[in-house]
Amino acid sequence: MSGDDVASHDAWVEKLGIPFTLVADPDHVALEAYGTWGERELPDGRKFMGIFRTTFLIGPNGAIERVWEKVVPTGHADEVLEALRAAG
């Protein structure tokens, strides 16, 4: 999910051949509800509003089973896949 609009997501899907739906939240309603939208700070001290890179593992009953905060993309998919396998 990102704060980008549907048109930008459609462009990414087409460009990269993504085989699943990307969720757009340009009004930040869900992002704020999940606590993943807020003030961020660059290493040089400049501040801006943005998304906190976070992954939620949501179980079949709709409950959040695990949260990864400050996600680093490299290797993260493997970590999530391992958690999914462990959850059965």
pLDDT tens, residue by residue, 4-44: 999 999 999 999 999 999 999 999 999 999 999 999 999 99
In terms of Cα–Cα distance, which of 48, 43, 52, 47 is closest to 71? 52
Tokens representing residue 11 in the block: 């462009």
Residue 25 CA from chain centroid, whole number: 11
39/62 Cα distance (integer angstroms): 28
* pTM for this entry: 0.81
